[in-house]
Amino acid sequence: MQGSLIFPLLQLNMKGEGKMEWVDRMTATIDYIENHLTDDIMYDEVAKISCCSMHQFGRVFSYVVGVSLSEYIRRRRLTLAALDLQSSNKKVIDIAIKYGYNSPDAFTRAFVGMHGVTPKVARTLGVKLKAYPPITFHISIKGDVEMEYRIEEKKEIKLVGLVKQIKRRSANAEANDWKEALGEAWDIWDEFLDGDIDRKIACEYKLYRSPMWQMGFTKTLENGETLLAIGAEADENVVTDLQSHTIPAGKWAVFTARGSLNGKEHPIDVMWTKITAEWLPNCGYERAADYELEVYLPGDTNDDDYACEIWVPITKK
């Protein structure tokens, strides 16, 4: 019932203007907030940009986004603070002041409340943090959804299993041809899982172990072809009759994707969309190379809370 009250108010102030103009106004308010996360954000200015009263804007924002405006701003500031901690040597107090906290104690309490760890611990490689990307408005509204990620520093990884190449497709290929390329990748996965390779890795060589478990490595080659390597990590001294591929050392952003692998939306597809559209444009990092890892953890892959991971090579912008 509350929702039915809010949207008529919104439509009344739009004065017959279309949805896209409303989207533009809401986007402009978010732009204003993003541009002022390190200084004062004036609520009346936000309301002015949105062409709403402060009270109405606050109600509309909370209804549409699911959190209050102040909570959204807090999450965005703490997200950026976490990125600053991991990508710089600035003092904690300096970062606290930058994002509007007058004391390190207040900053630490807020930081622990969102990320579950102290600012000092957040600088440790491998620690899991929360990321709240800027919300974006289209015909539907998305964003401000929690993303689980951590930063890992890894040495070279020797992957053993099945290694294949997928032929190059032209840039203006028809949709069906693109689906064919995707189908070829699935066929390679089927060959790995249904053949003898998966059994050898699990039973004969006993290579499935934390943290990498079962991996799928994808790399775009200079000739435009795609290399797909599926298997497990092996120590250098391990000798097998399987194919192998060496994954370069480097820094990785690791994202946890949750959901059934046999559901309507594959969790890897959903998470890739978020990484590409939301995390990478706002995180202070960029992709370091044209390859990535998918890691499939133990568990029931039909479970709605099944967890798998995407590993993206990163470097500072």
- Band (pLDDT 50/70/90 cuts) for residue 210 is confident
- Band (pLDDT 50/70/90 cuts) for residue 206 is very high
pLDDT at 11 > cutoff 50: no
pLDDT at 21: 66
Residue 229 counted as domain residue: yes
Q: Show the domain range for 245.
A: 157-316
**Tens-digit pLDDT profile for residues 18-55:** 456 667 888 899 999 999 999 888 877 887 787 765 55
Question: Which CATH number characterizes residue 166's domain?
Answer: 3.20.80.10
**276 or 35, which is more confident?**
35
Residue 44 counted as domain residue: yes
pTM for this predicted structure: 0.61
Residue 141 counted as domain residue: no
Q: What are phi and psi of 223, to 5 degrees?
A: -85, 5
**71 or 140, which is more confident?**
71
Residue 133 counted as domain residue: no
Q: What percent of the chain has pLDDT over 90?
A: 51
- Band (pLDDT 50/70/90 cuts) for residue 71 is confident
**Pair (18, 87) in one structural domain:** yes
The average confidence (pLDDT) of the chain is 82
CA atoms of 311 and 165, how far apart (whole Å): 20
**Pair (181, 80) in one structural domain:** no
Task: Give how many domains the chain has, as a whole number.
Answer: 2
Average pLDDT for residues 206-225, to the nearest whole number? 88
Long-range contacts of 18-22 (CB under 8 A, 24+ apart): 19/139
**Tens-digit pLDDT profile for residues 96-149:** 999 989 889 999 999 999 999 999 999 998 899 999 999 887 654 455 567 889
- Band (pLDDT 50/70/90 cuts) for residue 201 is very high
CA atoms of 162 and 181, how far apart (whole Å): 18
**Pair (301, 226) in one structural domain:** yes
Token pair for residue 275? 């990484």
Lowest mean pLDDT among 72-76, 109-113, 187-191, 220-224: 220-224
Q: What percent of the chain has pLDDT over 70?
A: 82
CA atoms of 281 and 252, how far apart (whole Å): 16
**Pair (107, 249) in one structural domain:** no
Residue 151 counted as domain residue: no
- Band (pLDDT 50/70/90 cuts) for residue 66 is confident
Contacts of 118 (CB under 8 A, 6+ apart): 108, 111, 112
